[in-house]
Amino acid sequence: MTWAGVELGGTKCVAILARGPNEVLARETVPTSSPEETLGAIEHILAEWKKREGFEALGIASFGPVDLDPDSPTWGQVLTTTKPGWSGTNVAPRLAERLGVPVGFETDVNGAAIAEMRWGAGRGMRDFAYITVGTGVGVGLVVNGSPTRGFLHPELGHIRIAQRDHDHWHGVCPFHGACVEGLASGPAIKARIAPRKIDQIAAGDPVWNSVAWALAQLCQAIVCAAAPGAIAIGGGVAQSQPQLLGKVERMLVESLTDYMPLPRESGYIVAPALGRDAGPLGAIALAMNAKA
Ligand code: ADP
Ligand code: ZN
């Protein structure tokens, strides 16, 4: 069976047509500009695929904030956002109507978590977390097989944490200053090391200890709240700095103390097995779930 997926990102959107993770039939990238331009282009690509190859269902993994409540009159829309023109944009109902297939709709990070559980680092687990560390810090959290959702989708990247001893840096989140995103996102690191450039910073530079600590504190919150089987950390920062994973794990173990031993000695904090494809394949996994 063939499935279509769209990952809506802050700077670009990826549409893919696939039979599974190892059988991607087509892939197109569209820049994220105005909703009309971007969704119009995506709609056009999907309609062509529908005509040429056909597909069973569509999955949409979107940047937030989005309405995920199927009982809400605004399900499938982008909620109030600082992204110009996108507040109140109808995404999922519009594409469902145009394409005439079942549509699954989730946050990008929940989609990535679901894909990793189906095909990657979370296989066989019922509880799993996927953290992206890129332009922002986002967390997809699946508990007892279901992605978490409340009056909104949780935003664990914005928890306030205890900083390391002697570290009082103010952070860059416009809402919380030194929340995890304000300390560990790409823009936060850039601000902290300026005028040095991020790709010129050595793997042993002390700034990575501060970043790893913030991520370890985030992981402690996730472990204490949901005790997932493993936590994958992806995104541009984590993928460019693979030394971070081991550091985060060591700091997490130290921070948890013996109170909560992890389910394995090492390899609890892992890279996403699907790498850069966790996002778009998340949308494919959502399509499969929408049809099921
Ligand atoms: P997005 O979150 O928008 O999808 P990415 O996951 O691609 O973006 O991550 C982009 C971030 O990765 C940028 O903030 C950038 O500063 C950061 N980045 C790029 N190169 C490096 C590097 N060598 N080391 C650490 N971070 C990097
Ligand atoms: Zn914040």
Q: What is the pTM of this model?
A: 0.97
E strands, 103-220, are 103-107, 128-133, 137-143, 146-147
Going 184 to 186 to 191 to 194, the CA torsion angle's sign is: positive
Instruction: List the one residue out of 89, 68, 72 whose CA is nearest residue 13.
Output: 89
Distance CA 270, CA 171 (A): 26
Q: Is the pLDDT of residue 141 over 90?
A: yes
Mean pLDDT of all residues in 233-237: 97
Which atom of ligand 1 approaches the CA of 10 most closely?
3
* CA gap 266, 278 in Å, rounded: 22
Measuring CA to CA, how many Å separate 75 from each of 34, 83, 92, 97, 286? 20, 19, 8, 14, 15
- Tell me the average pLDDT across 225-243: 97
Q: Which helix (H) or strand (E) holds 193?
A: helix 186-193
Question: Which residue from 193, 237, 245, 276 has its CB within 8 A of the most atoms of ligand 1, so it is best to mutate?
Answer: 237
* Residue-wise pLDDT tens digits, 110-139: 999 999 999 999 999 999 999 999 999 999
Q: Which atom of ligand 1 is nearest to the CA of 235?
A: 6
Q: For residue 136, report the distance from its CA to the centre of ligand 2, in Å.
A: 9
Q: According to the model, what pLDDT value does residue 292 have? A: 82
Percent with pLDDT over 70 in the chain: 100
- Kindly give the distance from the C-alpha atom of residue 287 to the centroid of ligand 2, in angstroms, as a whole number: 31
Pocket (CB within 6 angstroms of ligand 1): 9-11, 134-135, 186-187, 190, 198-199, 235-237, 240-241
Q: What is the mean pLDDT of residues 5-14?
A: 96
Ligand 1 centroid–CA 186 distance in Å is: 5
Contact 203, 137 (CB under 8 A): no
Shortest-distance Cα residue to atom 7 of ligand 1:
236
| Residue 11 CA, closest ligand 1 atom number | 3
**Residue count of the chain:** 292
pLDDT at position 80 is: 95
Which domains are seen in the chain, by residue range? 3-108+276-291 (3.30.420.40), 121-272 (3.30.420.40)
Residue 1 has pLDDT above 90, yes or no: yes
**Which DSSP letter does residue 64 get?**
S
What is the rounded CA–CA span in Å between residue 75 and residue 68?
6
Measured from the alpha carbon of residue 238, the closest ligand is 1
